[in-house]
Chain A
């Protein structure tokens, strides 16, 4: 049975043009970008180019881009780096209960180290309320970290309003844009964002690359210590070939953003309409009007995630649920728990399908039919 990939929010296939650009770098550009010779300069050119393109894609200055190994490192550097460098101004941090674990676990680490963290609740639709944020701000608050789009439900968060609310406060505003980047327009000035995390492998680039945007003048403390790379904010020899691939991935996503969004919306609509036609009992988690086109999180009453995921996999459908696994078994989703309460069945019967370049209308329809037949079998 032909496997069908519906897990683009977990990671994406590398775009063929990205691979094409990377191979010559692996073959020829082996210099260390920090070296003062021809070989080093060839590598350094690639970093400069990527920095420029990455900065342009979010309306930033190229000096404000710090390359990292990906989204997790960018989020950790944002939270821990800002907290350590600014603790003289206060020790309070605000985030939300639906963040990715790269943010939540970094926040928990800070709590163990003397910081206070407020985890904002969300509405039943999975959205942070700006007034909750406003009432949580204190004179001690130094950082607000709210994701741009939730990775499990696809719900867009009120980033512009939050940026606005924090404008006249000493607190910096970080947004984890790992899911949003390449799907929705992000301009750091318009959104009044001070730090923003991006990962390459969510946008058809290679794994092991990402960046953190850090607004000029903002002080962060590095977690690593070594060379002068990234102006000491992230020492370590850069992943040059990966960064070369990242360039092309950004260029492609900037060109095709609108078309891709429209295509994925079509896939999503088709998927939903087939489930309806097949008579499947389901509800979409989140407000369907405020979802990013590529993500669809569905609750199937009367089923459980463990059976669903394994059955899907055994019939070639790759999807996912929750985000944390212990010993390989699926834990109830912290995001859905925050939305519906930990006891709600949705936390244990919901599956995330995410669409992308590995799909076409035929395989999306085929996938919906296979999903429908499995759900029918499990529910009866």
Chain B
């Protein structure tokens, strides 16, 4: 085993407080730490300032405080090909993609990891709230201890090879503690606001952003029984379970998106948060990844998340093929959304996850979700 001072750890630094503290902790532990900023998207704000330049500037300031070397690497092309194209394709197909999952799979823990290794790194570290534990010859990925920040949902596509080379120095810390550490050490990013939303959209209006890349086709809003309720701006702007932005007034319960018909360009809406059409009792997931590299062979009970920051639900998972499973809910679930990730857990251990492809109710596929 190498000594820490001879163990090179490349830290993926975004210019935010989390990755800054990750670098600080590794440096304090005595590793040979190198900070690298990834530029995945070319964006200029209304004042002509490149947002990545501002973030890189923060990386530079923190690395200079820590006295570690810092560099940048450009993955704009890979990001465009592997993440953004997927993002657009999913919207075109009427689904709700999860670009963060794809970015972790294809960019951060693939292209970026390879780059780090080409620089002689022994490990890649990030500021994600997750933990890696080695049990025998197996690497397990555990939830971050801060329930509210746990990011294993986005990391569900990692495998044994990746986990053997990854460190998550913040996984055992609550977010509040991370902020405290940053403040105590006067890190330049200690009081920087957390970024929100999808990285390439940032603070911008989502609808406006998407309309720059995909033609919007306005159409009719109908109930499932065929009653016209108004017009929609383009199916891609809506997601299952959405209430905002429908513009349907009148008496009674509020209206919600319950489905889409791509062929007829119709958005299905129904009344009431607990409308029965929003509920289902199972799903089929594709691109299923098992973190222990061993695909499921027989049905198993565990818990699942169908979106980020949701409580776990009890499910039974049945294998269909190596990368395809059926997930049956023990209680009906509301607003399961095709394109989003379903991630499985056994206690604190994240088992892996897949992409929600079909939704099941009363043992048949629901055809109105798109």
Our pick among A313, A327, A378 for the contact of B72 (Cβ within 8 Å) is: A327
Given the complex of chains A and B, what is the CA–CA distance between A355 and B175 in angstroms? 49
Given contacts A306-B73, A328-B71, A329-B74, contact A311 B52 (CB under 8 A): no
Given contacts A311-B118, A314-B34, A314-B119, contact A330 B74 (CB under 8 A): yes
Q: CB of B53 within 8 A of chain A?
A: yes
Our pick among A306, A314, A325, A326 for the contact of B120 (Cβ within 8 Å) is: A314
Q: CB of A307 within 8 A of chain B?
A: yes
Contact with A along B49-75 (1 / 0, CB 8 A): 010110110011000000001111110
* Interface residue total, chain A, C-beta cutoff 8 A: 14
Which residues of chain B are within 8 angstroms of A330 by Cβ–Cβ distance?
A: 74
Which residues of chain A are within 8 angstroms of B314 by Cβ–Cβ distance?
A: none
Taking a contact as CB atoms under 8 Å apart, the answer to whether A329 and B53 are in contact is no
Given the complex of chains A and B, what is the CA–CA distance between A378 and B118 in angstroms? 7
Q: CB of B39 within 8 A of chain A?
A: yes
Interface positions of B from 108 to 146, Cβ below 8 Å from A? 115, 118-120
In the complex formed, the residue of B with least CB distance to A309 is B71
Given contacts A327-B37, A378-B118, contact A310 B53 (CB under 8 A): no
Our pick among B34, B55, B119, B120 for the contact of A327 (Cβ within 8 Å) is: B55
Given the complex of chains A and B, what is the CA–CA distance between A307 and B73 in angstroms? 8
Q: Count of A-B contacts with CB under 8 A?
A: 50
Taking a contact as CB atoms under 8 Å apart, the answer to whether B118 and A307 are in contact is yes
Taking a contact as CB atoms under 8 Å apart, the answer to whether A310 and B37 are in contact is no
Which residues of chain A are within 8 angstroms of B52 by Cβ–Cβ distance?
A: 326-327
Q: Which residue, B37, B60, B73, has most C-beta atoms of chain A within 10 A?
A: B73
Taking a contact as CB atoms under 8 Å apart, the answer to whether A328 and B56 are in contact is yes
Which residues of chain B are within 8 angstroms of A307 by Cβ–Cβ distance?
A: 115, 118-119
Taking a contact as CB atoms under 8 Å apart, the answer to whether B69 and A329 are in contact is no
Would you give the shortest CB distance from A150 to chain B, in whole angstroms?
24
Interface positions of B from 33 to 56, Cβ below 8 Å from A? 34, 36-37, 39, 50, 52-53, 55-56
Taking a contact as CB atoms under 8 Å apart, the answer to whether A326 and B71 are in contact is no
Would you give the shortest CB distance from B69 to chain A, in whole angstroms?
7
In the complex formed, the residue of A with least CB distance to B71 is A310
In the complex formed, the residue of A with least CB distance to B8 is A314
Contact with B along A288-327 (1 / 0, CB 8 A): 0000000000000000001101110110000000000111
In the complex formed, the residue of B with least CB distance to A308 is B118
Taking a contact as CB atoms under 8 Å apart, the answer to whether B50 and A326 are in contact is yes
Would you give the shortest CB distance from B68 to chain A, in whole angstroms?
11
Given the complex of chains A and B, what is the CA–CA distance between A347 and B369 in angstroms? 48
Which residues of chain A are within 8 angstroms of B59 by Cβ–Cβ distance?
A: 328
Given contacts A327-B72, A328-B72, A329-B39, contact A311 B119 (CB under 8 A): yes
Interface positions of A from 330 to 380, Cβ below 8 Å from B? 330, 378
Taking a contact as CB atoms under 8 Å apart, the answer to whether B115 and A327 are in contact is no
Given the complex of chains A and B, what is the CA–CA distance between A46 and B112 in angstroms? 54
Which residues of chain A are within 8 angstroms of B55 by Cβ–Cβ distance?
A: 327
Given the complex of chains A and B, what is the CA–CA distance between A313 and B119 in angstroms? 10
Given contacts A306-B74, A327-B55, contact A314 B118 (CB under 8 A): no
In the complex formed, the residue of B with least CB distance to A303 is B118
Which residues of chain A are within 8 angstroms of B115 by Cβ–Cβ distance?
A: 306-307
Our pick among A310, A311, A327, A378 for the contact of B39 (Cβ within 8 Å) is: A327
Would you list 5 pairs from A and B whose C-beta atoms are within 8 A, ordered by A residue? A307-B118, A314-B120, A326-B52, A327-B52, A329-B39
Considering the complex of A and B, which 9 residue pairs feature the smallest CB-CB distances, nearest first? A328-B72, A327-B52, A329-B74, A327-B56, A329-B72, A328-B56, A327-B53, A310-B71, A327-B39
